[in-house]
Chains A and B, each alone.
Chain A
Amino acid sequence: MTATGKAILLVEDNPDDELLTIRALKRNHILNEVIVARDGAEALDYLFGTGAYAGRDVSVSPQLVLLDLKLPKVSGLEVLQRLREDPRTRMQPVVVLTSSNQEQDLVNSYGLGANSYIRKPVDFEQFSEAVRHIGLYWLVLNEAPPVRRG
């Protein structure tokens, strides 16, 4: 699989899951730069060029956001809501990647405009397989939304 150069924003507060997700990406030869935001606020800072990311060129958007739901400070659902409200990030592909498959999480995620919802399996082989599919689909097969001009 050849992935194009744009970055993946991984929004994940659990350092173990961060390491395992990156391991699974490497294992599947997904070589995109991975930017890690460890809570919802940091994710919003990156996407909107605020806080620690003040001055970042926000017209360069990540090819994919991998979004955990249960996060410190600002929850994943809130991040999703803010992304969909803002014209700059409205079309940003977001894959919810989380532990739970509780109905309320599924309903809320899709309701707020998630593009996909993947439950992280306990079994790393299955997790790695899920990451492979995510990479293949979102980084290779899927046509990204056009870059916003002006």
Chain B
Amino acid sequence: MNGPPGQTGHADNDEGMDSGALALLKLGIDFHAMAAITSSEGRFTYVNDKFCAVTQYSRSELLGQDFRILNSGYHPKAMMKELWQTILGGQVWHGELRNRAKDGSFYWVSASIVPRVDPAGRPVEFITIRTEITKRKVAEETVAQLNADLQRRAAQLESANAEMESFAYSVSHDLRAPLRSMDGFSQALLEDYGDRLDATGQDYLRRVRAGAQQMGRLIDDILGLSMVTRQEMTHDRVDLTALAQLAIAELRQQQGERLVHWRIGEGLAASGDPQLLRVMLDNLLGNAFKFTGRREQAHIEMGRLGRVSDGVFFVRDNGAGFDMTYAGRLFGAFQRMHTTAEFPGTGIGLATVQRVILRHGGRVWAEAQPDKGATFYFTLPVVEDPS
């Protein structure tokens, strides 16, 4: 960084500045900055109090000393070369330097180095004014460090997401094909060669088919769970009552002879992603429907707890419930509270519910008793009502 040529030995040719003003200017400089003068060989001939304070050397230690004792060895050679070329050429150099104090610690200065040259243009001494900027530099370094960290993490996340995406794609395509073979050819055996198998043989084939189909559902649920995590979210006003009614309409088709009393609160609304919240309610209401399967009269209720502004909702059933001792595992993927024989399932439903709620910045928890039913609570951002 170059400035105009250095003054050529006439300190008093400032426009209209008398000696009184010059004295005050020096006072101001002493108050504000570290000032020093070095000889052409680089030895200190003058230092002000602030210079001593920041460098931690006394004036007597500094005077006659080579200025290089301040060097920190931090700056690249090219930059130092440019500095010297500038000031030896009679130009002002300005820039930021890291220097070393007497105790070995480092400090940063914003420095201007002004060469004083003789009539032949050779520097005879150097006047330097420095302002300490350590705090700012440390803050800048911290910010730069944080930014670099953030960028690295964003890149990692992006590549993890891309990997997840291609993993899901491959799972979706390649993992289901062998299951189709297992199921399809077991069925073909049953159809074409069933008469040559006894009841046990046929039962085994049915078990192969059931296993293949269960794994098919598992794959679909895992893909659904990963979709819930990856999919971009919107923040719309979502009518939870209407979504619940849609979910119930589908469940009613499986209802058959079962007696299910549905009670869905009116005007339940939240701010969020309609597609994700539909998946969440499908799972919660589907669970309530499933786990009341052995009740003569099933009661399933969805509503709001407390004030509208609290955004707390619940789904309650009088089904099989569960032991709260195991509640900690409730929302983990592949965790089940009941055997597949008691109630079929893959153990992905509540993990999906939790991911949807967490992505909305909400919480989900449950209260239950074995054989007395369960209540699932969840919070969602409430809709900002303009009225």
In the docked arrangement, what's the CA distance between A122 and B182, Å?
9
**Contact among A14, A100, A104, A123 for B213, CB-based, below 8 A:** A123
11 further A-B contacts with Cβ under 8 Å, apart from A102-B168, A102-B223, A122-B179, are A14-B177, A16-B181, A20-B181, A20-B184, A70-B173, A100-B169, A100-B172, A104-B169, A122-B213, A124-B180, A124-B209
Chain A contacts for B209, CB-based, 8 A: 123-124
A101 on the B face (CB < 8 A) = yes
Q: Measured between C-beta atoms, what is the minimum distance from A26 to chain B in Å?
A: 11
Residues of B within 8 A of A69 (CB): 173
Q: Which parts of A108-147 form the interface with B (CB within 8 Å)?
A: 120-125, 127
Which size class do B's interface residues fall under?
Answer: 20 to 34
Look across to chain A and name the residue whose beta carbon is closest to the beta carbon of B212.
Answer: A122
**Is the Cβ of A123 less than 8 Å from the Cβ of B168?**
no
Asked if B187 CB lies within 8 Å of chain A CBs, one says yes
Closest to A27 in B: B191
Residues of B near A101 (CB, < 8 A) are 172
In the complex with contacts A16-B177, A122-B179, A122-B213, A127-B184 CB distance below 8 A: yes
A99–B213 CB distance below 8 A: no
Q: Are B169 and A124 in contact (CB under 8 A)?
A: no
Residue B286 CB within 8 A of the other chain: no
Contact B184 A124 (CB under 8 A): yes
Task: Tell me whether A98 and B173 are in contact in the complex, defined as CB-CB below 8 angstroms, given that A122-B213, A124-B187, A125-B187 are known contacts.
Answer: yes
> B150 on the interface (CB 8 Å rule)?
no
Complex: A69 Cα to B174 Cα, angstroms: 11
Is A17 in contact with chain B by the CB < 8 A criterion? yes
B173 contacts A99, C-beta separation under 8 Å: yes
Q: Shortest distance in angstroms between A76's beta carbon and chain B's nearest beta carbon? A: 11
Are A123 and B183 closer than 8 Å at their CB atoms? yes
Which residues of A are found within 8 Å of B174, using beta-carbon distances? 70, 99
Once the chains are docked, how many angstroms separate the CA of A5 from the CA of B184? 27
Min CB distance B218 to A, Å, is 10
The yes or no answer to A148 lying at the interface (CB within 8 A) is no
- Top 3 A-B pairs, shortest CB-CB distance: A122-B216, A100-B172, A16-B181
Convert B233-247 into 0s and 1s, putting 1 for each residue whose CB lies closer than 8 angstroms to a CB of A: 000000000000000
Does A23 sit within 8 A of B, measured CB to CB? Answer: yes
What are 22 contact pairs spanning A and B, CB under 8 A?
Answer: A16-B177, A16-B178, A16-B181, A16-B184, A17-B177, A17-B180, A20-B180, A20-B185, A99-B172, A99-B174, A99-B177, A100-B173, A102-B172, A102-B223, A120-B176, A121-B180, A122-B180, A122-B212, A122-B216, A123-B183, A123-B209, A124-B188
* B220 CB to nearest chain A CB (Å): 8
Bound together, the chains give a CA A43 to CA B172 distance in angstroms of 23
Give the nearest-CB partner of B181 in chain A. Answer: A16
Asked whether, in the complex, the Cβ of A124 is within 8 Å of the Cβ of B183, the reply is yes
**Contact at A16–B173, with CB atoms within 8 Å?**
no
For the complex, give the distance between the alpha carbons of A20 and B180 in Å: 9
Q: Once the chains are docked, how many angstroms separate the CA of A99 from the CA of B181?
A: 12
Look across to chain A and name the residue whose beta carbon is closest to the beta carbon of B192. Answer: A23
